[in-house]
Amino acid sequence: MERKNQHYSSQFPDVRVKVFTVPVSLCRHLYLFKTITGIFSYKKLDLGTKVFIEHMTIPKKGGNLLDLGCGYGAIGIVLAYLSPQSSVYLIDTNKRALWCTKENIRYNLSERSGKVIVLHGSYFKPLHDKNIKFDAIYMNPPLRNGRKEFLALCKDIPSFLKRNGQFQFVIKKKMGANYIYNYLIQNLSDLYENISVTFKRSGYWIFSLVSI
């Protein structure tokens, strides 16, 4: 029987395995994502993720891009498809999600992608032995871990961004988007040269934070 308190951030979700295929058209291209019970939004692509993907910006020249908390990989796979000159990193704590991510890279990117690297672990830990800074970091954050954890992460992000690198993320208005915006302006303005909400749709706000 499925345990109700299991959630998608678990390293090994203890729920019965069922595999799904999620077809979704993003930025005028059709993707087929394999998903599995025990991971975030396995029945269909989360609306926040969809709005985010359709309005995220990608550096023109490409570079090092990171999908942090990748789930089954939708954000990172679209980044790799649209910017084949980039190196795209995808990180998550949930091993089932990463299994899907690897399948989805194989299925959706084939020879189109440049360098795509999938890593298991918490936030930046899997990068501790790699001397890497990113041109852009993308995220639909796991707010079920608590807002405090996400705000602490916002403080750490600039040390993983290049100068003028961007941290882009999506927050549901009802999950405290306005609070987060005010917190960032009041507390982190010395870490970012620009903090803005670039787009609002269907109750989701897209944020862009530019590092100093």
Ligand X SMILES: C[S@@+](CC[C@H](N)C(=O)[O-])C[C@H]1O[C@@H](n2cnc3c(N)ncnc32)[C@H](O)[C@@H]1O
Binding site for ligand X (CB under 6 A): 8-9, 40-41, 46, 49, 69-71, 74-75, 91-94, 97, 122-123, 140, 142, 145
**Cβ closer to ligand X: 162 or 172?**
172
**Cβ closer to ligand X: 113 or 193?**
113
Nearest distance, CB of residue 84 and ligand X, angstroms = 20
**Cβ closer to ligand X: 155 or 163?**
155
**Cβ closer to ligand X: 4 or 61?**
4
DSSP 69: S
Nearest distance, CB of residue 96 and ligand X, angstroms = 9
**Cβ closer to ligand X: 86 or 94?**
94
Strand partners, 23: 32
Nearest distance, CB of residue 49 and ligand X, angstroms = 3
Characterize the bridge pairing of strands 64-68 and 134-139.
parallel
The number of residues making up the chain comes to: 212
**Cβ closer to ligand X: 97 or 210?**
97
Nearest distance, CB of residue 189 and ligand X, angstroms = 25
Nearest distance, CB of residue 150 and ligand X, angstroms = 10
Rounded Cα distance, 212 and 210, in Å = 7
**For residue 157, which of 107, 116, 208, 118 has the smallest C-alpha distance?**
208
Rounded Cα distance, 42 and 34, in Å = 9
Task: Give the burial string for 143-172 (b: 16+ CB within 10 Å, else e).
Answer: eeeeeeebbebbeebbebbbeebbbbbbbb
As to burial, measured by CB atoms within 10 angstroms (0-12 exposed, 13-18 middle, 19+ buried), residue 105 is: buried
**Within 13 Å and on the Cβ side, how many CA atoms surround 20?**
17
Residue 16 makes CB contacts below 8 A (sequence gap 6+) with: 2, 37
Nearest distance, CB of residue 193 and ligand X, angstroms = 26
